[in-house]
Structure 1
Amino acid sequence: MNDHSETPVAPIEPFEPPYYVAVFTTVRTQEQHGYSETNARMEELVKDVPGYLGMDHAQTPGGLGITVGYFRDADALTQWRSNTEHRTAQQRGRDEWYESYTLHVAKVERSHGFTRRP
């Protein structure tokens, strides 16, 4: 939900296909101790993965969260998935922070966008 007094946000620009997306959809638990710090660390850590292109986030008022990570190729996605610190955060998410989640990985074959210009 966007309050018009906030700085406008925009989705990640389209990339030249093919590339990969990891769509992570979550419902969080009430226990969120340490989540913000770990999430910030993961957002910094993933930037070091060669082939990482960017990330979009959305959160509904009802608590459904969606994060979409964009990766140039399957090797970049595999490197992120197998990162030791990321795997530790994943386990903590299952143990503490997530009521449920789904992960969808897809190869993007077409991509385009639109931005209204003043």
Structure 2
Amino acid sequence: MTVQDETAQSVVLTEAAAGKVKALLEQEGRDDLQLRIAVQPGGCSGLRYQLFFDERSLDGDQVQDFAGVNLVVDRMSAPYLLGAKIDFVDTIEQQGFTIDNPNASGSCACGDSFH
């Protein structure tokens, strides 16, 4: 379940991911930061995700609110992220943020980049 209805026009942040982001911001003691996802050239498959806290607002940014967490996508990355879902998993096998992107046709063996 997501905090906001999923649409093919945007990135979705799940409740688990939004909760983890809030917890990390509380640990940092910062309320002026937003979560930014970007797609940059790099990795062995050509493109790489960047997920980080940012205080900047750039021209053309798309901002969505998920339970009080602002998720920001720059205009160059937006087409690569249409319909993508950011989740947070915490299991014995895996812990961290995951990105399920229907636009990624494949990834490298190490899972660090996609095309």
TM-score range, shorter chain: under 0.3
The normalised TM-score by structure 2 is 0.28
* Bigger-Rg structure (1/2): 1
The normalised TM-score by structure 1 is 0.27
Query: Per chain length, whose mean CA-contact separation is higher, i.e. which structure has more relative contact order (CA < 8 Å, sep 6+)?
Result: 1
